[in-house]
Amino acid sequence: MAIDEKMLEQILNKYPAKVKRNRKKHIVIRDIEKGAQEIEANTRTIPGIITNRGCAFAGCKGVVVGPLKDMVHIVHGPVGCAYYSWGTRRNKAKSENPKENFLNYCFSTDMQESDIVFGGEKKLAKMIDEVVEIFHPKAISVSATCPVGLIGDDLVAVAKAAEKRHGIQVLAFNCEGYKGVSQSAGHHIANNILMEKVIGAGNLEEAPSKYSINILGEYNIGGDSWEIERVLKDIGYHVVTVMTGDGSYEELKNAHIAELNLVQCHRSINYIAEMLEIKYGTPWLKVNFIGIENTIKSLRNMAQYFGDPELIQKTEEVIARETARIEPVMAQYKKICEGKTAFCFVGGSRGHHYQGLFAELGVETILAGYEFAHRDDYEGRDIIPEIKSDADSKNIPDLHVTPDQRRYRLKISDEKMAELKKRIPLGNYKGMISDMKDGHVIVDDLNHFETEEFIKILKPDIFASGIKDKYVVQKMGIPSKQLHSYDYSGPYAGFNGAVKFAEDISMAFTSPTWNFITPPWKNKPLLDGKIVDEEAS
């Protein structure tokens, strides 16, 4: 069943008038005849609405900085904040030296009421000293939480003093949860500090391989990065660093030597991709390694960028080998999945990336959206000049970089760059909306109420969700595939990941559990009511 403007109006009419006007801007029904369609994004969630968003701290420490395995990551704040960003994202990492992999640990200053009253700087300094004495890390990060910003602890001063005492880099991230409107602000803060303090600090001047690349915006959830790297290394690429899944502080320092940057999650990492191009001359290519066809397309685009006939041939050989191996398996799962429909509301890239993989299984994505996207994630980067900066955006200063006088060099000529941009997404991302079909729904910052209403009308067969909303959806009788951390599964990227995803989705559809659940909308509600508009009354 499709949804039209009249049905959407009926949903929105249950809001107070002011809330309705706000939310209507965040919902678009795809109409290809209209051409470009605008959607509101990266604005504050309305107070009182149950959103799926996270905070700036979660975006900084939990997403971008936290997966760096050879650093100790200290959370300065209550222990609950530390727990939220530890072990919940399933950023897998392995190291030749187990003593240099700290991801299994949770470090927190565990601020108490007395610390809020008298300040927590001394407690933080003491913890840094203890960490260095016990673990001997190569570097330390300190991430601020909401109470720290409210009481005014000076993280930067504590970090500088610790650097002098111990002779290692101590990075201070003022990423208090309330900064910005979502975790997107934390991504920006993390990008700025890592670019300013870490990237380029390495001693390497030349790439060790002809095809040296960085993978940006890949966080190795469930082992995704390992599957991507398996294929890339088989073709002949040298991965300098992954930012930041299974990532290394030492490798990140030499990110400047790569010949090409691959951008997987555009939202979380586009700032660094742009700065690397300005400072070192390294172009970035938008890739998507979720789904067979998207993986193939990304691999071919990479080969086109380098333009080496041998590399192109090797790419085709690997593609042929991998597809021949997995296509018969995928065909079996497709028999189970064909004809089903999905909602795909996940993160800052997955809501778009997974639509292709769903389609390969015969599952149509009829509603999609992001929790913390900006307009360009929906509409494409061409509209960036049209986006007006508001007060919340100005809370996060842009880091303005200039070409490095010693290390900047053009990786390809301007003529070749212009020619390649006509064929591959070099330095560009077209956004989600352009790939949505007529009548499909795009929702920014989908909330609890809208989730239930859209499910009642569209009745999807599966809901690709996050951590917070999956249980509500399952109680409504809809299988939920958690795509933030994959629950206990993965990888889902690349060729092997597509097979694993197909297996898990098929299990969700064939589980007998759903036969024993009666969705609440099938029964008459015990209580009817409506929200009264205070302005009207």
> pLDDT of 98-114, one tens digit each?
899 999 999 999 999 99
- Res 377: pLDDT: 97
Instruction: Judge whether residue 51 has pLDDT over 60.
Output: yes
Instruction: Look up 55 and say whether it is catalytic.
Output: yes
User: Mean pLDDT of all residues in the chain?
Assistant: 94
Amino acid letter, 130: E
CA distance 167 to 164: 6
Which residues neighbour 303 within 8 Å (Cβ) at sequence distance 6 or greater?
235, 311, 312, 315
Side-chain half-sphere exposure of 212, counting CA atoms within 13 A: 18
> Could you report the per-residue pLDDT of 275-331, keeping only the tens digit for each?
999 999 999 999 999 999 999 999 999 999 999 999 999 999 999 999 999 999 999
Q: Which of 41, 56, 58, 464 is catalytic?
A: 58
Whether 217 contacts 243, CB under 8 Å: yes
Instruction: Judge whether residue 124 has pLDDT over 70.
Output: yes
- Res 424: pLDDT: 98
- Res 69: pLDDT: 97
Confirm whether 247 is domain-assigned: no
Q: Which of 23, 73, 89, 352 is catalytic?
A: 89
Q: Which of 73, 90, 187, 267 is catalytic?
A: 187
Confirm whether 155 is domain-assigned: yes
Write out the two tokens for 309. 């006939």
Confirm whether 68 is domain-assigned: yes
Instruction: Judge whether residue 537 has pLDDT over 70.
Output: no
Q: Which of 186-190, 202-206, 348-352, 511-515 has the lowest mean pLDDT?
A: 511-515
Mean pLDDT of 493-518: 93
Residues in the chain: 537
Can you tell me which residue has the tokens 């690997």?
A: 318
Confirm whether 66 is domain-assigned: yes
* Domain CATH code at residue 152: 3.40.50.1980
- Res 524: pLDDT: 65
Give the distance from CA 68 to its chain's centroid.
16
- Res 536: pLDDT: 57
Write out the two tokens for 198. 């870490």
CA distance 273 to 482: 28
| pLDDT bucket at 395, cuts 50 / 70 / 90 | confident
Torsion of CA 285, 258, 306, 381, to 10 degrees: 10
Q: Which of 41, 55, 344, 464 is catalytic?
A: 55
- Res 170: pLDDT: 98
Confirm whether 84 is domain-assigned: yes
Helix then strand count (H, E) for the chain reads 21, 14
Give the range of the structural domain holding residue 116, as residue numbers without chain letter.
Answer: 56-178
Mean pLDDT of 456-484: 91
Instruction: Judge whether residue 492 has pLDDT over 80.
Output: yes
| pLDDT bucket at 234, cuts 50 / 70 / 90 | very high
Give the distance from CA 196 to its chain's centroid.
21
Q: What percentage of the chain exceeds 90 in pLDDT?
A: 85
Instruction: Look up 76 and say whether it is catalytic.
Output: no
Instruction: Judge whether residue 528 has pLDDT over 70.
Output: no
Instruction: Judge whether residue 392 has pLDDT over 80.
Output: no
Query: Residue 155 in 3-state DSSP?
Result: helix
Confirm whether 524 is domain-assigned: no
Minimal CA–CA distance to 268: which of 120, 371, 163, 158?
Answer: 371
Which residues neighbour 470 within 8 Å (Cβ) at sequence distance 6 or greater?
463, 480, 482
Query: Residue 140 in 3-state DSSP?
Result: strand
Calculate Rg over the CA atoms of the chain: 24
Q: What percentage of the chain exceeds 70 in pLDDT?
A: 97
The whole-model pTM stands at: 0.94
Instruction: Look up 187 and say whether it is catalytic.
Output: yes
- Res 534: pLDDT: 64
Can you tell me which residue has the tokens 């369609």?
A: 37
- Res 327: pLDDT: 97
> Could you report the per-residue pLDDT of 397-428, keeping only the tens digit for each?
889 999 999 999 999 999 999 999 999 999 99
Instruction: Look up 350 and say whether it is catalytic.
Output: no
The edge-to-edge listing of strands for the beta sheet with 441-443 is: 27-29, 441-443, 364-369, 341-345, 462-465, 480-482
| pLDDT bucket at 385, cuts 50 / 70 / 90 | very high
Q: How many separate domains does the chain show?
A: 1
CA distances to 36, 73, 114 from 143, rounded to whole Å, are 39, 8, 20
- Res 390: pLDDT: 77
Which residues neighbour 465 within 8 Å (Cβ) at sequence distance 6 or greater?
52, 343, 345, 346, 473, 480, 481, 482, 483
> Could you report the per-residue pLDDT of 342-377, keeping only the tens digit for each?
999 998 899 999 999 999 999 999 999 999 999 999
Confirm whether 195 is domain-assigned: no
Instruction: Judge whether residue 201 has pLDDT over 60.
Output: yes
Instruction: Judge whether residue 468 has pLDDT over 90.
Output: no
Instruction: Judge whether residue 529 has pLDDT over 80.
Output: no
Instruction: Judge whether residue 388 has pLDDT over 80.
Output: yes
Confirm whether 188 is domain-assigned: no
